[in-house]
Amino acid sequence: MGFSATILGCAGTELTREEDAFFRDVQPVGFILFARNVEKPLQLAHLVSDLRATAPDAPVFIDQEGGRVQRMRAPYWREWQPPLDMVEALGADASRALYLRSYIIGRELLDCGIDANCGPLADIAQADTHPVLRNRLYGDEAGQVALHARAVADGLRDAGVFPVLKHIPGHGRARLDSHHDLPRVTTDLETLRDTDFAPFQALADLPWGMTAHLVYEAIDPDLPATLSPRMIRVIRDGIGFQGLLMTDDLSMNALPGPVEERAGRARAAGCDIVLHCNGEMEEMRKVVEAAGPLDRDATDRLAAVMRGRPDPVRLDIREVEAEFDALISRDR
């Protein structure tokens, strides 16, 4: 049986019979979890186990960035300040702190069976980056962002968790929230190559990547990157990303048309996998049909990625936490 070219969500804290049967039938590449799926550690571990039973070896993804975007929260898991706030406070210590923080996050995820985190973000913060994104970023200069994003990726991988590079090829110039509107970038191509695209090029070796839902007028004035063959060629040939390329969530309103049309157009543009997050069964059925199975190139990329599944580096978690807390306390 081939894999459906999808990563799918589920509706609640337990897998329903309908979801179980559906996932066993369609075999998605992976699953993604949100706050609606998370209550406490034992419940979460059971849900992850049940999901993986339907599609053996399928990675289970989550967004655990810190700040506003963290699906697992106190009292069972650590709370994290927004990344940009921490970077600005720590200065020269920021990269080390991001590594330690990401290792701790990765260990918390893996303890519940979750083995993929949607990060690092390699978008560059601008003065007018939309507030929904800005303090989730790691800096306002390409070299700094690349350094910090690499630290995040290394921390996750050393914890045994896949990192997911996002939002390729750069979302920092967006002045609108792509959950609701379609941002447009008017910057010239040379500037984009020297700035926005540069951190992604520096991390192009990462196994998973996620597209950006915004228009780059210098490359394709008509289509957002997720749906644009021209932009996917830039991601593959210009930036050099050769890992598995997934869309950002298809349910976001930056994309035109019904969700199944978005899925088909993203696959036709060159995205390997479409991401559908809201867990609505009727939508999922339409998305799976429109996305179709993985093609040969994506199947080969998936096999290579899974052969490189991260092996945990068993650092003493108490020492890691103590070093991180000591770095953070210097700013107080």
Q: Terminal CA-to-CA distance of the chain, rounded, Å?
A: 55
| Among 158, 248, 249, 272, the one annotated catalytic | 248
* Cα(222)–Cα(219) distance, integer angstroms: 9
Q: Is 57 exposed, middle or buried (CB count within 10 Å of its CB: 0-12, 13-18, 19+)?
A: exposed
CATH number of 4-329: 3.20.20.300
Please give the chain's pLDDT, 332 residues, in tens: 589 999 999 999 999 999 999 999 999 999 999 999 999 999 999 999 999 999 998 999 999 999 999 999 999 999 999 999 999 999 999 999 999 999 999 999 999 999 999 999 999 999 999 999 999 999 999 999 999 999 999 999 999 999 999 999 999 998 887 788 888 999 999 999 999 999 999 999 999 999 999 999 999 999 999 999 999 999 999 999 999 999 999 998 889 999 999 999 999 999 999 999 999 999 999 999 999 999 999 999 999 999 999 999 999 999 999 999 999 987 55
Active site (annotated) includes residue 248? yes
* Cα(316)–Cα(107) distance, integer angstroms: 11
| pTM to 2 decimal places | 0.96
pLDDT tens, position by position, 36-88: 999 999 999 999 999 999 999 899 999 999 999 999 999 999 999 999 999 99
| Among 85, 93, 177, 179, the one annotated catalytic | 179
Active site (annotated) includes residue 179? yes
| Under 8 Å between Cβ of 149 and 99 | no
Beta bridge partners of 211: 168
* Cα(73)–Cα(27) distance, integer angstroms: 30
* Residue extents of the structural domains in the chain: 4-329
